[in-house]
């Protein structure tokens, strides 16, 4: 009698079914100083998040996470966060680029003013490098 054989993939697949997966989310990080000090209205700031969201989804359209995120339109999760300034938004971009592996994002720079306004992260499962980068850039939930 031959012992049953199981492929590693079948075992991994069975474990994946039994383990809950963290939901995909997109973090949208907006400069708070644009509202408080620069006099931008909420409408223009919402437009910046829309621009950054569309850009990152387009740029990462072939990633597994983005495909999965886009296939479930009724359960999309987004978190709008604030960071104090252009400097902290740039710091976030640098941290994400420098992660191993780099975290995909799009930094929206409004034209013709050439002003960085919003950073959208590609759909993700809130991995540690993302949490660390958000903390280092003083990102908090938008209030």
Residue 122's domain is classified under what CATH number?
3.40.1490.10
Helix H or strand E encompassing 70:
helix 64-71
Tell me whether residue 13 is in a domain: no
The answer to whether the beta carbons of residues 85 and 34 sit under 8 Å apart is: no
Question: Does 15 or 40 have the greater pLDDT score?
Answer: 40
Tally of domains within the chain: 1
Tell me whether residue 118 is in a domain: yes
Domain range for 100 is 34-141
Mean per-residue pLDDT for 77-86?
97
Tell me whether residue 19 is in a domain: no
Tell me whether residue 60 is in a domain: yes
Query: What whole-number distance in Å separates Cα of residue 104 and Cα of residue 67?
Result: 14
pTM as predicted: 0.84
**In the predicted structure, residue 131 carries a pLDDT above the cut 80:** yes
Q: In which residue are the tokens 């039994």 written? A: 18
Query: What whole-number distance in Å separates Cα of residue 12 and Cα of residue 10?
Result: 5
**In the predicted structure, residue 8 carries a pLDDT above the cut 80:** no
Mean per-residue pLDDT for 42-60?
98
Tell me whether residue 54 is in a domain: yes
Tell me whether residue 41 is in a domain: yes
């Amino acid at each position: 009698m031959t012992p049953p054989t199981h492929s590693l993939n079948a075992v991994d697949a069975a474990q994946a079914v039994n383990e809950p997966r963290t939901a995909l989310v997109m973090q949208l990080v907006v400069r708070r100083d644009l509202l408080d000090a620069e006099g931008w209205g909420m409408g223009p700031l919402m437009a910046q998040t829309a621009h950054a969201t569309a850009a990152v989804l387009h740029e990462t359209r072939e990633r597994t996470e983005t495909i999965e995120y886009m296939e479930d339109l009724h359960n999309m999760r987004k978190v709008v966060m604030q960071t104090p300034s252009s400097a902290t938004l740039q710091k976030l971009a640098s941290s994400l680029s420098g992660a191993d592996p780099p975290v995909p994002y799009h930094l929206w720079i409004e034209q013709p003013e050439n002003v960085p306004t919003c950073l959208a992260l590609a759909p993700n499962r809130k991995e540690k490098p993302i949490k660390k980068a958000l903390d280092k850039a003083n990102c908090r939930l938008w209030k």
